[in-house]
Amino acid sequence: MGNKCLVLVALAITAMGCKNNKQEPTPVLQEEVAIAEKPKEILEFGFNLENYIVKRDTVKKGDSFGEILERNKVGYPKIFHIAEKAKDTFDIIRSFQQGKPYTLLFSKDSLETPETFIYQPNKEEYVVINFKDSIHAFKSRKPIKYVEKTISGVITSSISETLDEKGISAVLTNKLADDIYAWTIDFNRLQKGDRFKVIYSDKYIDDTIYGGVHDVKAVLFEHKNEPFYAFRFETDSVKGIVDYFNDEAKNLRRAFLKAPVKYSRISSRYNLKRRIAVYGYNVRAHRGTDFAAPMGTEIMATANGTVTESRRKGGNGNYVKIRHNATYETQYLHMQKRKVKVGDFVKQGDVIGWIGMTGNTSGPHVCYRFWKNGKQVDPFKEKLPEAKPISDSLKFKFLEYIKPIKYQLDNIQFEPEIPEQQSEQAIITQANS
């Protein structure tokens, strides 16, 4: 009887233990299963890259579309078929450039079959050629985000050094000096203590790739203790014309840019009595201004207008001529390549061609010629007209538009300026410590 009782007690304890085990399942195992079932996604170019074997590379010297695909197990009959199908979307032969990145997507199986080719002509755009089943191609852009930022600073030597110390792109310097205040402030003659505030936006591609300064929304520049406001405002939404105006709605720019090329130098000025050694020092009038720059540098229209000539002729080489109004025309000679054709409307700052050496020239430059009432003149000796003033109908809209922006700009704190005596005392203190 005693042994029988012991057996019954043991069975009861075992049953209770099993019951307790069923009531307390191990949570760690369940959590591990949940994590393992969650799919991972790496999205780019509209594909989940986790579903492919991904190969990235850049176009090497001498590479062609066909050679790249052939190296990656695509036969030439299929390559020809792909190129033919894709040519309406993307000119594979002419558009392929050395150094540009491309991506190949392969099937994630034992065969590792190439299925998609993606080419990036620049940071923002990409071309997809998909040949997994049927062949189709399309162009697209990566998502772009604009982030508004503010900055202030005090000039100690130059605007470029001040912004460089803050880690700001030199593009912002050029926008301030060349696009906004070109006719208002001489940035080569800034004074120590001049100060500024800027509201601008940076561009980010795919949220992570920095695309540079996008545009400048508003600026307050104090030069010689005088405030110079600048507000960006679109005056023609159809043609996309944007100007900068001060707080009284006065246009800050002239009708013409000072130069058709950025980052250049004047190698020869307008001179009707110029003598040249190669012509025996005889007088050879030079009715243009030469701006020297590296081959391929962009040439810009100096004002809004319509292209009246775009051709190659004799000593002028490749050139473009633009009529701006009934009074003014400009001409751009010796281009490597022209970008515009007769009849095109161009805005001030639009690229119309690239620096070259076509025609009679001894080095890469653009000969910029300026016509007034049908006669070539020196633009640097002309009193050029101001840009078109804002219309009465837009003036009220502009003044209402800038109210909150001006409030925002005025409330940005200037960087504290350290007096020279205090700065010198700080240096002495550090030296003695």
Q: Where are the domains of the chain?
A: 43-141, 144-245, 265-381
pLDDT classification of 279: cutoffs 50, 70, 90 = low
**In angstroms, what CA-CA distances link 406 with 182, 229, 347?**
21, 9, 27
Question: Which H or E element spans position 143?
Answer: none
Helices assigned H by DSSP within 38-73 = 65-71
Report d(CA 388, CA 235) in Å as an integer.
10
Token couple for 117 = 């080719």
Say yes or no to pLDDT of 6 above 50: no
Helices assigned H by DSSP within 153-201 = 159-165, 170-174
| Residue whose pair of structure tokens reads 């190969």 in the numeric block | 55
pLDDT classification of 334: cutoffs 50, 70, 90 = very high
pLDDT in tens, 24-52: 555 554 545 455 555 567 788 889 999 99
- What's residue 283's pLDDT? 57
Using alpha carbons, select from 193, 191, 155 the residue that is nearest to residue 173. Answer: 155
| Residue whose pair of structure tokens reads 């005088």 in the numeric block | 226
- What's residue 389's pLDDT? 81
Amino acid letter, 260 = P
pLDDT classification of 274: cutoffs 50, 70, 90 = low
Least confident window among 3-17, 108-122, 403-417? 3-17
CATH for 43-141 (3.60.15.10, 3.40.50.12780, 3.10.450.350, 3.30.590.20): 3.10.450.350
Least confident window among 217-231, 263-277, 298-312, 378-392? 263-277
Say yes or no to pLDDT of 13 above 70: no
Token couple for 87 = 């040519």
Of all residues in the chain, the percent with pLDDT exceeding 70 is 83
- What's residue 282's pLDDT? 63
Using alpha carbons, select from 314, 395, 391 the residue that is nearest to residue 359. Answer: 314
Token couple for 233 = 């405002």
- What's residue 7's pLDDT? 46
Question: Which H or E element spans position 402?
Answer: helix 392-410
- What's residue 29's pLDDT? 47
Report d(CA 335, CA 324) in Å as an integer.
20
- What's residue 276's pLDDT? 59
Give the predicted TM-score (pTM) of the model.
0.62
Architecture of domain 265-381: Distorted Sandwich (2.70)
pLDDT classification of 98: cutoffs 50, 70, 90 = confident
* Fold: same for 144-245 and 265-381: no
Sign of CA dihedral 297, 298, 299, 300: negative
CATH topology of domain 144-245: Nuclear Transport Factor 2; Chain: A, (3.10.450)
- What's residue 430's pLDDT? 41
Supply the mean pLDDT for the chain: 83
Q: What is the DSSP string of 218-284?
A: EEEEEETTEEEEEEEEEEETTTTEEEEE-TTS-B-SBSS-S-SSSS-EEEE--BTT-EEGGGTTEE-
Report d(CA 200, CA 204) in Å as an integer.
13
Give the number of other CB atoms < 10 A from CB of residue 47: 18
- What's residue 8's pLDDT? 46
* Range 138-165 average pLDDT: 89
Task: Strand 144-154: give its sheet, edge to edge.
Answer: 144-154, 195-205, 209-223, 226-236, 241-245
Give the residue with greater pLDDT, 39 vs 322.
322
**In angstroms, what CA-CA distances link 117 with 45, 131, 244?**
11, 8, 43
Are 285 and 271 spatial neighbours (Cβ–Cβ below 8 Å)? yes
pLDDT in tens, 194-253: 999 999 999 999 888 888 899 999 999 999 999 999 999 998 877 778 889 999 999 988
* Range 330-335 average pLDDT: 96
Say yes or no to pLDDT of 153 above 50: yes
Sign of CA dihedral 321, 324, 329, 335: negative
Report d(CA 316, CA 353) in Å as an integer.
14
302-307-308 Cα angle (round to 5): 125
* Range 252-260 average pLDDT: 86
pLDDT classification of 112: cutoffs 50, 70, 90 = very high
The separation between the first and the last C-alpha atoms of the chain, rounded to the nearest angstrom, is: 96
**In angstroms, what CA-CA distances link 281 with 273, 274, 276, 278, 284?**
11, 9, 5, 7, 8
pLDDT classification of 277: cutoffs 50, 70, 90 = low
